[in-house]
Amino acid sequence: MSKCFPDNFLWGGAIAANQVEGAYLTDGKGLSTADLLPHGIMGERQLRTPGDSNIKDIAIDFYHRYREDIALFAEMGFTCLRISIAWTRIYPQGDEDTANEEGLAFYDRVFDELAKYNIQPVVTLSHYEMPYGLVKNYGGWGNRQTITFFERYARTVFCRYRDKVKYWLTFNEINMSLHAPFTGVGLPNTSDKSAIYQAIHHQLVASARAVKACHALISDAKIGSMLLGGILYPLTCKPDDVIETLQQNREWLFFGDVQARGAYPAYMTRVFSKHGIRLYITDQDRQDLQETVDFISFSYYMSGCVTKDQELNQQARANILNMVPNPHLPHSEWGWQIDPVGLRYLLNVLYDRYQKPLFIVENGLGAKDVLTEDGSIQDEYRIKYLNDHLYQVGEALEDGVCILGYTSWGPIDLVSASKAEMSKRYGFIYVDRDDDGNGTLVRRRKKSFYWYAEIIKSCGKTLKAPHIE
Ligand code: BG6
């Protein structure tokens, strides 16, 4: 049965500044935390020395090629594009009094280009990067002052782009800070839980203040949270596994609970006391947190399992979140388990919990593509992955879930976040660049390019019911 997506459903793709732009010190841009992680977001910070290079320094050179790339997105029929603003293009060190005009002008050009094709920008304020100046001089999000610097940055871009951008997100995968503290909150990866949760608290307050500023400055804008939707199933129906799963899901849902409900959920009191964590929270913070998001956005790549069984817990840990693998699911070349039905499940869980519109702002398959002799890329596996996930989005719509849109991750090949590789490709558009930085950067349409264009044109009606084994 064909799927029925609303006419105003937003269709597009998602990219992030530090994974596409390159030009890492151009036009006044400052060093960001992402510029110091040549091996990906989970790695240790490495100070830059003259002459060293990082694949992200050029990335796919979106900074200079955005016109060509946006034209290709338009050719696929995108009605939205999720991008992020590099905070360091606007405030290079993070604590300046005035914004960097050249950085602001760059995003003006990008938004104007999108407007030419009626593509709505969906803009993340901070996607896995912050000014390194704030880390070095203030201790990152560990310092309450960073809230003020972030709010200044947010207000600057809201004022500047108020007529051009109507969808905003605050922090990308805000729950990832627990797993990658340097990337998430600018703290050393060895930091203890107390320090990390205090930094997270500051970030949650900053997020709420940005939401408030957005509501005040752009009355017709919508601003959302962005969670890594790492949904977990109990490995067995043993009650202990089920309770453990509830608790582990709360570790990430906690962020959504604060952002969507405006206060710390009661269950965190027990979590904090178990770990001896005592947060410093002011009355003003509690008041600020009451400003809640308009919608919940999230990324979804995989599901995982939870067990209390210590031995199983020690065994093969499949991915960056240390989830126990599900014996019923296949996995990608990078060990990420493929679970389209999990997306329908997650959409229902989030909608039941928050009763706010949802936006799937990342989903996709990282794979090693082969460029054939005739210059084509036959990425059937990507088409299958996306078809099966989008089909489940259609199911969730029928379940009554309110969904604003879908942006597949990496509509054009880009540098991967976890390992800083080019060979983990997500795109409908192939980019000629390898892991060592060799290549012409020429763009090519893959088979999936034409497929996605059809899906958008038919508003999902050409999605195929997945083959049941
Ligand atoms: C999400 C991030 O976690 O996953 C993206 O928001 C990232 O930045 C994406 O690129 C896919 O992960 P990876 O490691 O395959 O690039």
- The separation between the first and the last C-alpha atoms of the chain, rounded to the nearest angstrom, is 18
Helices (H) then strands (E): counts for the chain: 15, 12
Please report whether residue 467 resides in a domain: no
Three-state SS for 205-228 is HHHHHHHHHHHHHCCCCEEEEEEE
User: Which of 138, 225, 148 minimizes the C-alpha distance to 186?
Assistant: 138
pLDDT of residue 4: 84
* Ligand 1: nearest atom to the Cα of 424: 15
In a domain, 463, yes or no: no
Give CA separation, 465 vs 3, 56, 68, 261, 462, in Å.
9, 38, 34, 36, 10
pLDDT at position 44, please? 77
Residue 368 lies in a domain: yes
Q: What is the CATH number of the domain that holds 345?
A: 3.20.20.80
* Integer Cα distance of 376 and 372 in angstroms: 5
Is residue 337's pLDDT more than 60?
A: yes
Domain membership of residue 464 (yes or no) is no
Q: Give the residue, by CA position, lying nearest to ligand 1 atom 2.
A: 417
Task: Indicate whether 31 pLDDT > 70.
Answer: yes
Residues marked active site are found at: 173, 362
- 232-251 per-position pLDDT tens digit: 999 999 999 999 999 999 99
Q: Select from 299, 361, 425 the residue to mutate for testing ligand 1; criterion: most ligand atoms less than 8 Å from CB.
A: 299
Instruction: Examine residue 468 and state whether it is found in any structural domain, yes or no.
Output: no
pLDDT at residue number 412: 98
What separation in Å is there between the alpha carbon of 321 and the centre of ligand 1?
Answer: 12
Pairing relation of β-strands 167-171 and 443-445? unpaired
Check whether 318 has a pLDDT greater than 60: no
Q: Among 56, 302, 319, 409, name the best residue to mutate to test ligand 1's pocket (greatest count of ligand atoms within 8 A of Cβ).
A: 409
Mean pLDDT for the chain?
95
Ligand 1 atom nearest residue 416's Cα: 16
In this predicted structure, what is the pLDDT of residue 42? 87
CA neighbours within 13 Å on the CB side: how many for 183? 23
261-283 pLDDT, tens digit per residue, is 999 999 999 999 999 999 999 99
Nearest CA to ligand 1 atom 9: 417
What is the average pLDDT across 161-184? Answer: 97
> Residues 79, 12: contact at Cβ < 8 Å?
yes
What is the residue with the minimal CA distance to atom 7 of ligand 1? 417
Contact, 182 vs 262, CB < 8 A?
Answer: no
**Most informative mutation of 333, 362, 412 for ligand 1 (most atoms within 8 A of CB):** 362
Mutate to test the pocket of ligand 1, among 175, 319, 416 (most ligand atoms within 8 A of CB): 416
% pLDDT > 70, the chain: 98
Number of domains in the chain: 1
Q: Which amino acid is at 229?
A: G
CA pseudo-torsion sign 154, 293, 181, 37: negative
* pLDDT at position 84: 98
332 pLDDT exceeds 70? yes
Specify the range with the lowest mean pLDDT, choosing from 100-104, 134-138, 248-252, 310-314. 310-314
Whether pLDDT at 425 is above 80: yes
Q: Are 174 and 254 in contact (CB under 8 A)?
A: no
Task: Count Cβ atoms below 10 Å from residue 85 Cβ, excluding itself.
Answer: 28
25 CA to middle of ligand 1, Å?
A: 23
Kindly report the protein residue whose alpha carbon is nearest to atom 15 of ligand 1: 416
Among 118, 67, 55, residue whose Cα is nearest residue 443: 67
Q: Which residue range forms the structural domain that includes residue 362?
A: 10-457
Assess if residue 236 is contained within a domain: yes
Rounded-to-integer distance, Cα 73 and Cα 67, Å: 10
Closest ligand 1 atom, CA of 336? 15
Q: Which atom of ligand 1 is nearest to the CA of 41?
A: 14
- Averaged pLDDT for residues 174-192: 95
Distance 189 CA to ligand 1 centre (A): 19
At 260, list the tokens. Answer: 């969507």
- Separation in Å, CA 392 to CA 369, 379, 397, 406: 25, 21, 9, 12
Provide DSSP, 253-322: HHHHHHHHHSS--THHHHHHHHTT------HHHHHHHTS--SEEEEE-S--EEE-S-HHHHHS---STT-
Query: Tokens representing 237?
Result: 């129906």
Please check the confidence at residue 14 and state whether its pLDDT lies above 70. Answer: yes
pLDDT of residue 321: 62
Distance 1 CA to ligand 1 centre (A): 32
Inside any domain, residue 233: yes
What is the residue with the minimal CA distance to atom 10 of ligand 1? 417
Between the CA of 239 and the centroid of ligand 1 the distance, in Å, is 33
Q: What is the pLDDT of residues 66-107, one digit of tens each?
A: 999 999 999 999 999 999 999 999 999 999 999 999 999 999
Tokens found for residue 104: 């602001």
C-alpha of residue 57 to centroid of ligand 1, in Å:
18
pLDDT band at residue 317 using 50, 70 and 90 as cut-offs: low
Asked if the structure places residue 136 within a domain, the reply is yes
Closest ligand 1 atom to Cα of 128:
8
Confidence of residue 212 (pLDDT cuts 50, 70, 90): very high
Pocket lining for ligand 1, CB < 6 angstroms: 16, 19, 128, 172-173, 228, 299, 362, 366, 409, 416-418, 424
Q: Whose CA is nearest to atom 4 of ligand 1?
A: 417
Residue 78 Cα, ligand 1 centroid: separation in angstroms?
Answer: 21
Q: How far apart are the CA of 216 and the centre of ligand 1, in A? A: 32
Residue 106: predicted pLDDT = 98
**Which H or E element spans position 169?**
strand 167-171
**Residue 28 and residue 45 in contact, taking contact as beta carbons nearer than 8 Å:** no
Residue located nearest, by CA, to atom 16 of ligand 1: 416
Residue with the smallest CA separation from ligand 1 atom 14 is: 418
